Structure 1
Amino acid sequence: MKRVLFLSILSLVTLYGRCQVTMESLLKEMVSAESLAKFPSPEFKLLQFSSYDRMSIAAGEPGWFANFDLSNFLRVEKREGRREFVLFDHRGAGAVVRFWMTFAGIHPGEGVMRIYIDGSEIPAVQGSPFELISGGKLAPDPLSSSVSKSYRYDRRGHNLYLPIPYSLNCKITYESEFVKEENAGFGGENVYYNINYREYPAGTKVESFCDKVLKKNSEQIKSVAQKLAGAVERQVFTAGLSKSKVLERGECYSESLPGEGAIGQISIKVENPGSEDFNLNQALRSVVLEISFDGVKRVWSPVGDFFGTGYKISPHRTFFTQVSEDGSMTSLWVMPFREGADVTIRNLAGFPVKMILEISKIEWKWNDRSMHFGASWREYHRLDAGGVKSNADLGEGAFDINYVTLKGKGIYVGDALTLFNSAYAWWGEGDEKIYVDGESFPSHFGTGTEDYYGYAWCRPEKFTDHPFISQPDGSGNLEAGYTVNLRYRSLDKIPFKESLVLNMEVWSWTDAILNYSPVTFYYQLPDHILYKKYSSREFTDPTGSLLSGEEGATKKVVTDRLELVPAIVREGRSEFDQLDFHYRSAGRVSFDRSVGFNTSNKAFVNWSGASAGDTLVVRFYTNENLKEGAIKIGFIKGANFGRFRILLNGKPFGDTFDGSSDTQFVTEVDFGRQTLNKGENQFTFINLGPSHSGQKNSFVGIDYIDFNF
């Protein structure tokens, strides 16, 4: 690895008087939850540079959902015989506060990154991006880290949260001989990045980043990292109240906190009071937290979503939320009020629940910068993700949905997403688009939902040890299942003076049905209110699937793919991806886009990674006892496809099938007349290995099934 060089530079301007923004002040702000509850001073805009696809120009125009969001730079500069690709160039006072990257292609991340400050031709720091962003050369973990640590290093999401302030200018470049200037994504090294930065008003005095500043703050950097990592216990709970109560169906319990102050910590645990009907998953969604500050309801969310665990207990620890193995859920958001607060737990479940509630009230001196905390939740229920998509078609079929629309003045501080994915394919290719104060084009345009949440490449591995990002459960990322993603903001909070709109693209590679439930967190000055009775019907919903309030919280939660895709077959053709993939002894099932195969719906089911003797059990259901009829199945043939045989309801079904072919195509096999059971039926695919000694893989590919009775 290249040695990191720290080069002190002379500032081009002398700063008279005390700086308003320094690395020290930013580090203190980062670990002060109280600072989030005050409108920033000095004020700033939070903006973003990213590698988003430059064909995305305007909503409603071709290219708005284009997906070549890699190796798109501001320009290429020639310097001393080398090519430097410019990722970031901001003129004026500012600070980089969050830097995310990942790589693909050849020699990923092996180039040289340089950060130039205040117009200097000499970089303040240089090294490989892995060293600088996640390797700990600038700051220790978790200020410099990668997730998930259980996956290969170069394909992780690399995150730098160490602030890099500057008074005049900051430019960040990447030098690599393997990055292509044209046709990026077709060979070469692929670079993906999102950089959040603050833009301060002209005249703001900022102490610029340099080697001297980094060394001067080394002890504070270490202390902040320890606090964020949980090595230094963060505990704001003083004298407070604790209440345990059984809530019957439809019942609620409220606690009032009179006078000036703030909620510093709130903890809730939901338990079974001894009811045979109790369902913890449903209780986490149908028991609701409501909080009013100074007479105005500002928080409405299912308890599980509010604490970042969704509707399953998913233990994790961040700087703002904690969930324990025993089901205890804790929030450390500071929530000020001037005259009083009311906390209500409402049971919307169809059964009684036992709730344990603890609240800490801390001191707070209200002033003209103080803000009320807010949280809102919604679900896009049985959301059709828009069919099979491709980059060549510019993401046709993708669309935007709204996380939240805020009116007035405040700051946006994070969100948590809980979803159930019906497809054996990645659901989150979509980008965030954040509009602040009426922007016609979003000042934040990302490169993928997982990039927004700090990880990369759709990976399902858990990470639960970072202060600002977490994936307590990723089992629904590449297969049908359940996922929870969290992103909380400290220095990368987004101020707004008039409005904020956060939209997220729904961009799944293949057919998918999603239950998609975001909860958002923000602070607003007291005269600015988001909801009228917490109804989201005022927002445009192109999908017709949006639920909020009691309508959403009382819906049955999904824990099995069959609840979204019932795998019921009728006479005629059924896509094989609509059946139930009940069991496999090895390998992976995926819904693959059918480039070159000419499949019936642009995709097929691919069972890969299995060996001779492995089995795949696929279930389907009929509504009536079907008599003899013809069954035909479309199979995939190609270079990587091997031999297999099939059982239908435990009996041999047809001859051994050999999928090997020098060319790739779909071939239909007629299995003659068969009889199905009423209700459940199942195919068992038995892998027989490669077709010949030169073949390494023995994939099994199925496109469709035809029933004609």
Structure 2
Amino acid sequence: MTLFNGLGMGLGNLSRLSKAKTRSISPENFTGEKGKGAMAEEGTGAHPARELGKGWKVSPSVEIQGESTHTMAEITGPGAIQHIWLTCHPNHWRTSIIRMYWDGETEPSVEVPLGDFFCNGWCERSDVNSLPVAVNPAGGMNCYWEMPFRKHCKITVENIAEENMILYYQVDYALTDVPDDAAYFHAQWNRSNPLPYKEVHTILDGIKGQGHYVGTYMAWQVNSNNWWGEGEVKFYMDGDDEYPTICGTGTEDYFGGAWNWEQPKGEYRTYSTPYLGMHQVIKPDGLYRAQQRFGMYRWHVMDPIRFEEELKVTIQALGWRSGHRYLPLQDDISSVAYWYQTEPHQPYEKLPDKNDLEVI
């Protein structure tokens, strides 16, 4: 994780003084202005605070109307987002879209369904114990990706459902100088449902500019029997054509596991570590849950994938068939790619509608 101007993301920098100004935006202080917190007289907590009044948790959250967008934070820079915490009902994790815009962009640099951004793409809570993303009981979602901006930052949440949603949130940031070599944070969602036979799932494509790839989250539904994780992750960069520069050895290998994640025999073993994990297994129940579903993340914090001009990332869906032969799979695969790069970035493909976003 990068450091600048005394902003520490490691214990080794905590003793260093800095002229950075710490600020925080929440429904108790929508602007983050100094000395303007806890002044609300109306809000979602007004009724329980009616005997206590101003300053007593009058506005801990917001209600976002159906098919509308709420601006969660708007900040004049230079500065950097250091931490985001939020929570809402899991029913909204695929029907709410978080977007982030840097320095006056009209096209977002981050555009991801809310749950997937925090490694919970199945609308069923799974704890995550990693450095840049932590999800804690019972649905507290935390992000520690450093997000510098030079002039302006805007973060929105769009509720694409017809029903209203309640969102609790806090955005912690610093107003500080940003060095010339600090890149902008990006994240993009993609889905193959189902993945066409003998095709690969594209995690990221069309990236132009200089930067480094820092993470992958995948929500994977297996639509066949037997082991499914033989597929390789491939990174095509800076002029690679048919063959990539970086090619992994298998799906569970990329996410830091081995041998089917099978421990003890006949069972998947979940794990969540600072940089990688297979933290979620949703099993069929013999009634309405028909397929196995998995959640996995891999953070390239210590080993970023650096590119100078362009980047494409893919993964094969590969299992086994008779005769000890590979079987190209036709699974339901969603992914989030996280990376830093120079601006401007190429516009993303439009997100699908809520039917194609839906967890089915």
Per-residue deviation at 1:298? 0.4
Corresponding position of 1:678: none
Write the deviation string for residues 384-437 of structure 1: whole angstroms up to 9, x where unpaired.
Answer: 4x3xxxxxxxxxxx4323110211111110110012222232222110111111
Q: Secondary structure at the match of 2:315?
A: strand
Q: Secondary structure at the match of 1:305?
A: helix
Contact 1:421/1:480, CA 8 A, preserved across alignment: yes
1:414 aligns with 2:215: yes
2:188 to 356, 359, 376: 376
1:430 aligns with 2:210: no
d(CA) in 2 for partners of 1:345, 1:555: 16
Match runs of 1:325-344 below 5 Å = 325-344=137-156
1:495 aligns with 2:306: yes
Contact 1:246/1:355, CA 8 A, preserved across alignment: yes
Corresponding position of 1:347: 159
Letter matched to residue 3 of structure 2: E
Letter matched to residue 23 of structure 2: A
Match runs of 1:361-400 below 5 Å = 361-384=173-196, 386=197, 398-400=198-200
d(CA) in 2 for partners of 1:469, 1:413: 12
Contact 2:77/2:175, CA 8 A, preserved across alignment: no
Q: Secondary structure at the match of 2:94?
A: helix
Per-residue deviation at 1:476? 5.9
**TM-score of the superposed pair, with normalisation by structure 2:** 0.75
Corresponding position of 1:291: 100
Contact 1:399/1:507, CA 8 A, preserved across alignment: no
d(CA) in 2 for partners of 1:248, 1:554: 21
1:472 to 279, 288, 312: 279
Write the deviation string for residues 193-247 of structure 1: whole angstroms up to 9, x where unpaired.
Answer: xxxxxxxxxxxxxxxxxxxxxxxxxxxxxxx8x99xxxxxxxx995301121111
**Residue correspondences, number:** 292
Write the deviation string for residues 523-550 of structure 1: whole angstroms up to 9, x where unpaired.
Answer: 1112x3032xx21xxxxxxxxxxxx614
- CA distance 1:240–1:432, shift in 2 (3 Å): same
Write the deviation string for residues 495-536 of structure 1: whole angstroms up to 9, x where unpaired.
Answer: 11100111111213257542200100001112x3032xx21x
d(CA) in 2 for partners of 1:375, 1:333: 11
Match runs of 1:57-136 below 5 Å = none
Segments of 5+ residues of structure 2 without an aligned counterpart are 5-9, 13-19, 28-60, 262-267, 285-289, 322-326
1:247 aligns with 2:47: no
Letter matched to residue 79 of structure 2: G
Corresponding position of 2:112: 301
**Identical pairs, percent:** 26
2:252 to 450, 463, 488: 450
d(CA) in 2 for partners of 1:344, 1:433: 32
- CA distance 1:369–1:262, shift in 2 (3 Å): same
Q: Name the Cα RMSD after superposition.
A: 2.4
d(CA) in 1 for partners of 2:283, 2:318: 15
Contact 2:84/2:170, CA 8 A, preserved across alignment: yes
Corresponding position of 1:216: none
Letter matched to residue 259 of structure 2: W
Letter matched to residue 530 of structure 1: Q
Corresponding position of 1:192: none
Contact 1:286/1:553, CA 8 A, preserved across alignment: no
Per-residue deviation at 1:257? 0.9
Contact 1:322/1:330, CA 8 A, preserved across alignment: yes
Segments of 5+ residues of structure 1 without an aligned counterpart are 1-31, 36-223, 228-235, 272-279, 387-397, 536-547, 559-709
Contact 2:238/2:311, CA 8 A, preserved across alignment: yes
Contact 1:400/1:504, CA 8 A, preserved across alignment: yes
- CA distance 1:418–1:299, shift in 2 (3 Å): same
Per-residue deviation at 1:458? 2.0
Contact 1:237/1:360, CA 8 A, preserved across alignment: no
Per-residue deviation at 1:480? 2.8
d(CA) in 1 for partners of 2:200, 2:330: 15
Write the deviation string for residues 1-60 of structure 1: whole angstroms up to 9, x where unpaired.
Answer: xxxxxxxxxxxxxxxxxxxxxxxxxxxxxxx3437xxxxxxxxxxxxxxxxxxxxxxxxx
